[in-house]
Amino acid sequence: MAKIKSITHLGKMPTMDIEIDSDDHIFYGNGIATSNSHAVSYALMAYWSAYLKANKTLEFYLHWLSNAKEKIDPNQEIYELVESAKIDHINIHTPYHEYIEENFSIQDGDIYFGITNVKNVGINEFLKLRDICAEVAPKTWMDYLIKVIPNVNKRAVENLITVGFFSNLGKSRSEMQHEFSCLQGLTKKELEILQEKLDTSISIKDNLKNLNRLKKEGGAVATTKRLVAFADIINRLENPGRSLKDNLMSISISEENLLGIAISCSKVDACADASFANTTCKELMDGKKGKSILAVEITRIKEHVTKNKDKMAFLSIRDDSIEIENIVVFPEPFAKFEDIIYVGSTVLLFGEKAKDRNSFLVNDIHQI
């Protein structure tokens, strides 16, 4: 059993350095095992982290994002790092087809998610994509659709499309998902013939129309019975039965589920009434004064009961610019708008910054 040898008072504050008569230098305080070396290790980590954040900002975020998978809650770690990066003017993007990287990487001064940072996309799928793309050198969505992604796990492909991996290829994410889904109906042999006879100057639908004949007639279909199923694939491409325009709310929710945070847009972007806002969270954090209207999503709520037994709340909110806290809803507006104050709610907040403290006082709330 270790014994305390000495206690030395340090500095002006009630801080002590406790020396322990023990070979392993471990002692217990409040039921927690600790040691001087443990404290020094954390202090050094904090010092070097602060130094790197100030002097090698891009590399700092790259390192911490790359190791987020090792944390207890990787999604929360990524969320907080991306929000912090916004304050430091670091741009972070979804995975992108021009940068086939396993993990987070720096490209042209910005940080991009890697392929394996997408939920349910593993190292094997990354290796397949990397090797096939190196061999095929795809340039268009049709190249990827016909020559690359048929060799990759279906769920991984769907998730990559969903987070915008194939963006800037002239198709919406919804249209890509639809075409990929339709082509799942082709047999292996039909796909091989399509790859062999692919005409990139016309649409995938017209390519299939050109092959909608029996093999003996120069087409891709093995039997007369199979012609019906083949024609059905073409019909699905022509008549999807729904709009293939991307929905911003859907994109935001999907990216949050698959990446840990919405990158391309926020839930607020899908709200038409968001246009009434005249201030962003970043502008408010930077010191904008006067009456403001914010279009935001409520991310956290801490309720408080006053001495008069009235309920009020402190909110954290976010828009595309940043997440901020210290949003105060006093008892009167809280009682009036309590039904729309919940995590995930998209609202217009009317109010202004307090004169004597760094908080935003809400006087009116409209759900959007």
Instruction: Summarize pLDDT for 193-219 with one digit per residue, the tens.
Output: 999 999 999 999 999 999 999 999 999
Crossing angle of helices 173-183 and 154-162, in 10° steps, is 160
What CA–CA distance (Å, rounded) separates 136 from 139?
Answer: 9
With vertex at residue 340, the alpha carbon angle to CA 336 and CA 346, rounded to the nearest 5 degrees, is: 135
**Do 271 and 205 fall into the same domain?**
no
Those residues with Cβ within 8 angstroms of residue 271's Cβ, 6 or more apart along the chain or in another chain: 295, 346, 368
Neighbours of 14 (CB within 10 A): 7
Containing structural domain, residue 319: 267-367
Residues of the chain with pLDDT under 70: 1-39
Both 219 and 316 in a single domain? Answer: no
In a domain, 27, yes or no: yes
253, part of any domain = no
Same structural domain, 99 and 219: yes
DSSP 256: H
Residue 217 lies in a domain: yes
- Predicted local distance difference test score (pLDDT) of residue 128: 96
Q: Give the model confidence (pLDDT) of 306-322 as tens digits.
A: 999 999 999 999 999 99
209 in Cβ contact with 234 (< 8 Å) = yes
pTM exceeds 0.75 for this model: yes
Q: Identify the three-state secondary structure at position 258.
A: helix
User: Do 158 and 287 sit in the same domain of this protein?
Assistant: no
- Residue 307 sits in a domain whose CATH number is 2.40.50.140
Under 8 Å between Cβ of 324 and 300: no
pLDDT of residue 357: 79
Question: What's 144's DSSP letter?
Answer: I
Number of domains in the chain: 3
pLDDT at 45: 83
- The whole-number pLDDT of residue 16 equals 53
CA distances from 32 to 28, 38, 84, 263 (A): 5, 12, 31, 39
What is the reported pLDDT for 5?
62
Q: Of 23, 50, 49, whose CA–CA distance to 37 is shortest?
A: 23
**CA 306 – CA 332 distance, rounded (Å):** 12
Claim to verify: residue 356 and residue 307 sit in the same structural domain? yes
